[in-house]
Amino acid sequence: MSPDVSDTLSFKIAIIGAGPAGLMAAQVLSDAGYAPTVFDAKPSAGRKFLQAGRGGLNLTHSENFSLFASRYFEAQPFLQPALEIFSPDDMRSWAQSLGFETYVGSSGKVYPVDKKAAPLLRAWLHQLKANHTQFKMKHRFVGWSKDVWQFQTPDSIKDYSFDAVILALGGASWPHLGSTGFWTTILKDKGLNISPFKPANMGFNVSWSAVFKEKFSGTPLKNVELSFRDINGNLQSKLGELLVSEYGVEGSLIYTYSKFMREKIEQKSPLTVYLDLFPHRTQSKLKQQLSAPRGKQSLSAFWKRLGLTGVKTSLLREVLAKEHLCEPELLAKTLKKFPLTLDSFRPIEEAISTAGGLGFENLDKLLMLKDFPGVFCVGEMLDWEAPTGGYLLTGVMGQGKQAAEGLLKLLQTKNRPL
């Protein structure tokens, strides 16, 4: 039996955090006939969503579901329920329902056809508002005592009471967009277990020479294979692209393994990883080509004939003395196993996402706090991480849906507010 409309609209549900996790929770609740109120400290919703879409909004990934689910590392068992109710296919259907077709890029990543975040967010917010979702912006959550929830507004501290609350408070990366991690103090005071935040999907510092930095900062290094052994001794290896930066390296290939490289550096720094700069040629083939007579050609011209140009030639000069640049065997070996020393990882403020946060042991299967009935927690504030590639967005939106559906199930078993 569906709930009476007057009952659902009068039922007070707060969603604290206007990121994609909170907005998806609001969508599920408003579709069920409720009128949730979304609170956020910032003047507008979805700021990190917009920032993530600046280079093209990567919604999800097209790989098979079992492989997709494995991208959440040891947190996979906790994310699995969210992914099952909001799969990559569901993400594409959701975008389509808002009028945005998607396509699969060459790497398997899924984007809206126009690759833009702003039009999609505007359509989403318009739909939510038309469906009874209310928004209270510039309301920074500052305290919670029994049934009183406090928010700092531009005017004063305001107190509210709610029948149910979904917390979608974010992690601690890109704090200027709203994810400051401030909430950890509030929840620790409730006796909840929270792991310290750490950067995830971040860059790493490399001691480039001044000449190399000046010339190649911002240069992509394409079609290279990264390999190293993780803290368990397992070989991690992948073909892809990274970006040389002024401080070191970043980019999708780096983010794929940022968790494992962070763990190794925490164990012992610095960490040396290896790049195969010519993954489609064998070492013996490279040696043969580098051993060919070059006649009156300059070394640079000779290398160019072999496809050895630009940033790759300068990488050789970063690790080999000038007198060794004419040794074919050493050159071939270095090109196939270039030692890239990562001194440290970049600070959490620069990271795309975070590891750490509220532990899943605090939550039941509905994502509700075991010790606080009617209070749910979702998204990046929870202790999980995933690489870039659409996994983060799918995960947080899936958890928003999971918690909202959990709240609806809970309401069906009760004859009165929580």
Q: How confident is the model over 235-248, as pLDDT tens digits? A: 999 999 999 999 99
Nearest to 256 by CA among 241, 274, 271: 241
Cis, bond preceding 373 (omega within 30 deg of 0): no
Structure tokens at 77: 């068992």
Which residues are within 8 A (CB) of 310 and not within 5 positions of it... i.e. 6 or more apart?
Answer: 216, 219
Residue 295 pLDDT level (bands cut at 50, 70, 90)? confident
> Does residue 374 contact residue 380 with C-beta atoms inside 8 Å?
no
pLDDT reported for residue 416: 46
pLDDT reported for residue 1: 40
Which residues are within 8 A (CB) of 99 and not within 5 positions of it... i.e. 6 or more apart?
Answer: 123
> Does residue 91 contact residue 60 with C-beta atoms inside 8 Å?
yes
The full set of domains in the chain, from first to last, is: 5-199+351-412 (3.50.50.60), 204-345 (no CATH)
Nearest to 172 by CA among 392, 49, 350: 350
Give the ranges where 278-324 is alpha helix by DSSP (H): 283-290, 299-305, 310-319
pLDDT single digits (tens) 125-162: 999 999 999 999 999 999 999 889 999 999 999 999 99
Task: Please state, in angstroms and as integers, the Cα–Cα distance from residue 192 to each residue in 74, 285, 363, 377, following that order.
Answer: 20, 59, 10, 12
CB atoms within 10 A of CB 60: 29
Structure tokens at 373: 């009935």
Is pLDDT of 26 > 60? Answer: yes
Residue found by looking up tokens 């140009």 in the block: 309
373 residue type, one letter:
P
pLDDT reported for residue 3: 52
Angstrom distance (rounded) from CA 94 to CA 31: 13
The DSSP code for 217 is T
pLDDT single digits (tens) 341-391: 999 999 999 999 999 999 999 999 999 999 999 999 999 999 999 999 999
Residue 4 pLDDT level (bands cut at 50, 70, 90)? low
The reported pTM is 0.93
Is pLDDT of 5 > 80? Answer: no
pLDDT single digits (tens) 155-197: 999 999 999 999 999 999 999 999 999 999 999 999 999 999 9
Nearest to 197 by CA among 167, 170, 168, 166: 170
Which residues are within 8 A (CB) of 379 and not within 5 positions of it... i.e. 6 or more apart?
Answer: 17, 19, 20, 21, 22, 168, 169, 170, 396, 399, 400
> Does residue 389 contact residue 72 with C-beta atoms inside 8 Å?
no
The helix (run of H) or strand (run of E) holding residue 160 is strand 157-160
pLDDT reported for residue 53: 87
Task: Please state, in angstroms and as integers, the Cα–Cα distance from residue 273 to each residue in 114, 266, 390, following that order.
Answer: 36, 15, 25
